[in-house]
């Protein structure tokens, strides 16, 4: 077993980072495999927890590991790459990548649409909307925490089954089809409840998004806000000079 050298003028956390990176990338483990815990690494190297956390932070930023609250350190899974030129539902994205989509429904309810959401859905003042709170998973790993808003007049109810593709359900229930969307992506970090729901440590890197989906007639159909674990998801777009 490789050891750190306390006589070298190299910080201990960086030596540990180099040793762990070498182990993780030696090809003996698969993406998503369990690796260790902070306590086990602290015992192994006989250093402080702060030193271990500094090393793990570097590994996380390098896309090598994921710290899952209550489940230890795992090798980072291969990211789901989304082509921004093609509009797909989350379920379609997962299946396209050979992953099994899943949903944990946190709740669905009628509410008075907040001003910004009413504007996105072109609702009248004080008009009700349906809000659906969900955790979306790929191969059982929580990836996206989102809130989807629909006009209450669309004919959907809180009692419906929202554990599958929302776009597919809307089409079945209303006959309307999502045709295009305006998608805004921003960098973010996961904190508090959002971090707990996606099973990562507070401060974990993330992508926050807002999406308004329109039907074939150009009328807004769904407004969605959400946050995504950055270790599990990436966006790609082909650019061309005009």
For CATH 3.40.1410.10, the residue range(s) in the chain are: 80-236
Compare 148 and 138 and report the one with higher pLDDT.
148
**Single pTM value for the model:** 0.64
Q: HSE (CB half, 13 Å, CA atoms) of 13? A: 13
For the chain, strand residue ranges (E) read 34-36, 65-68, 72-75, 80-83, 101-112, 128-138, 141-151, 178-190, 204-215, 220-229, 233-236
Cβ atoms of residues 100 and 94 within 8 Å:
yes
Is residue 92 within 8 A of residue 171, CB to CB? The reply is no
How far apart are alpha carbons 151 and 128 in whole angstroms?
7
Question: Measured between alpha carbons, how far is 55 from 15 in angstroms, rounded to an integer?
Answer: 8
pLDDT at residue number 148: 94
Q: Each residue of 187-223: pLDDT tens digit?
A: 899 999 999 999 888 888 888 989 899 988 989 999 9
Q: What is the pLDDT of residues 3-13, one digit of tens each?
A: 788 888 888 88
Specify the pLDDT at position 8: 82
CATH match of 12-75 with 2.60.40.290: no
Summary mean pLDDT of the chain: 84
CATH 1.10.10.10 location in the chain = 12-75
Q: Which of helix, strand or coil describes residue 124?
A: coil
Buried b (16+ CB within 10 A) or exposed e, 156-165: beeeeebeeb
CATH superfamily of 80-236: Chorismate lyase-like (3.40.1410.10)
Quick one: what percent of the chain has pLDDT higher than 70?
A: 90
CB-based burial of residue 239 (10 Å sphere; 0-12 exposed, 13-18 middle, 19+ buried)? Answer: exposed
pLDDT tens digit string along 11-47? 888 888 888 888 887 777 777 778 888 899 999 899 9
- Collapsing DSSP states into helix, strand and coil, what is residue 71? coil
Confidence label for 96 from pLDDT (cuts 50, 70 and 90): confident
CB of 65 closer than 8 Å to CB of 59: yes
When pLDDT is averaged across residues 81-88 and rounded to a whole number, the result is 52
pLDDT, position 83: 47
């Amino acid at each position: 077993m490789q050891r750190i050298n306390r006589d070298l003028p190299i910080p201990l956390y960086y030596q540990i980072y180099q040793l762990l990176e070498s182990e993780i990338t030696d090809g003996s483990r698969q993406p998503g495999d369990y690796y260790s815990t902070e306590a086990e690494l602290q015992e192994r190297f006989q250093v402080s927890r702060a030193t271990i956390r500094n090393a793990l932070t570097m590994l996380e930023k390098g896309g090598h590991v994921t710290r899952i609250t209550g489940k230890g350190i795992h090798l980072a899974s291969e990211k789901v790459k989304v082509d921004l030129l093609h509009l797909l539902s989350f379920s379609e994205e997962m299946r396209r990548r050979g992953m099994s989509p899943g949903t944990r429904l946190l709740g669905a309810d009628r509410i008075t649409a907040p001003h910004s959401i009413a504007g996105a859905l072109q609702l009248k003042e004080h008009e009700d909307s349906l809000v659906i709170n969900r955790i979306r998973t790929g191969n059982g790993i929580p990836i996206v925490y989102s809130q989807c808003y629909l006009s209450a007049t669309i004919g959907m109810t809180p009692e419906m089954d929202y554990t599958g593709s929302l776009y597919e359900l809307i089409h079945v229930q209303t006959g309307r089809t999502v045709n295009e969307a305006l998608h805004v992506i921003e960098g973010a970090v996961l904190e508090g409840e959002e971090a707990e729901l996606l099973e990562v440590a507070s401060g974990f890197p993330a992508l926050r998004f807002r999406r308004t989906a329109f039907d074939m007639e150009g009328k807004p159909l769904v407004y969605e806000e959400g946050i995504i674990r950055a270790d599990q998801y990436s966006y790609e777009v082909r650019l061309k000079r005009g």
